[in-house]
Amino acid sequence: MLMRLLIIMFALGALDVGAGAADRCDLPAATLAGFDDGALLAQNDAGDWLLFTGFENLKKPTPFSFAFVVKDGMERAGVVVVKTARWGSRQSASRSGLVKLARENSYPDRQCSSPPFKSRSVTARAYEDYHGRGFLESRALDSSPDPASPETSRQVIESFHSKYPGGGSCRSSDSTDYAGFEYRNNRSQFSYDMTVVDNGWSYATVNIARSLIPEALAAPSRLQQQRTEIFHYKVAPNRPTCIMFSLDSAAADQVLRVNDIENRTTLWRAGEKRWQPLEVR
């Protein structure tokens, strides 16, 4: 009887493991095979999935369904970070704006799962203190984003991050270990500051950041309605899958950045992919 119970539990567990990115990807493998790793596909009105080129030609707010392609010749597990925002005028951008945090709570590998996370927001200043400047303490991080909760912004951010298989163990999405021979650690890849994402926490960057006037370190200039979401995946060799997400309403001022932080080109990170107004670049 005990043996039968163990077998049933194992089978249920195996089903749960299978609820990874591959099962959530609705696109046929034959469709995905025609695109490169890291390609972003958008569904058109006819239901076809085409390579996405940008928001520049939008004349009116438009909903989008996206599929981010993940494929490799070897097994790979990781997280995809999707950052969205709107690009506004300096006058309309609030320096005390919020960044909404969301995380998909399904894991393709049960050994590296994290407690469920309910979507919450922190100030843009707290978000960048943690991700863009590597701080663990600051006035913004020590304050609570919700007056009714004793939880600090740092605690909210740390609970937002999750684990995934990497390097023979479980790696954290906000790990500060450097990858290869570069300064771009995992945590830096969540920043909305493109210089930090592209160059990491180099000593020069950190020293310059710490020498600046605090007000200048608020949310990266004109970004509004910022939202960061984490998706997990585990891809088998030569069996492409995808991360699917959507935007309810996008316009020409839409900012979309997608970063597969475990994707490598030799020793280096593959880098963040961006679709955004020309003036942001």
Per-residue confidence in pLDDT tens, the chain, 281 aa = 444 444 333 333 333 323 334 347 999 989 999 999 999 999 999 999 999 999 988 989 999 999 999 999 899 999 999 999 999 866 454 545 899 999 988 887 778 889 999 999 999 999 999 999 999 999 999 999 998 999 999 999 999 999 999 877 899 999 998 655 567 899 999 999 999 999 887 755 555 555 554 444 444 568 999 999 999 999 999 999 999 999 999 999 999 999 999 888 777 888 899 999 988 86
Quote the tokens at residue 187. 């945590």
Q: What is the pTM of this model?
A: 0.84
Residue-level pLDDT at 59: 87
Structural domain spans, the chain: 2-280
In angstroms, the CA 195 to CA 142 distance is 25
Dist CA 29 CA 5 (whole Å): 36
Cβ–Cβ < 8 Å for 130, 217: no
Q: Which CA distances in Å does 73 have to 21, 35, 237, 264?
A: 17, 14, 5, 12
Three-state helix/strand/coil letters over the chain: CHHHHHHHHHHHHHHHHCCCHHHHCCCCHHHHCCCCCCCEEEECCCCCEEECCCCCCCCCCEEEEEEEEECCCCCEEEEEEEEEEEECCCCCCCCCCEEEEEECCCCCCHHHCCCCCCCEEEEHHHHHHHHCCCCCCCHHHHCCCCCCCCCCHHHHHHHHCCEEEECCEEEECCCCCCCCCCCCCCHHHHCCCHHHHHHCCCHHHHHHHHHCCHHHHCCCCCEEEEEEEEEEEEEECCECEEEEEEEEEECCCEEEEEEECCCEECCEECCCEEECCHHHC
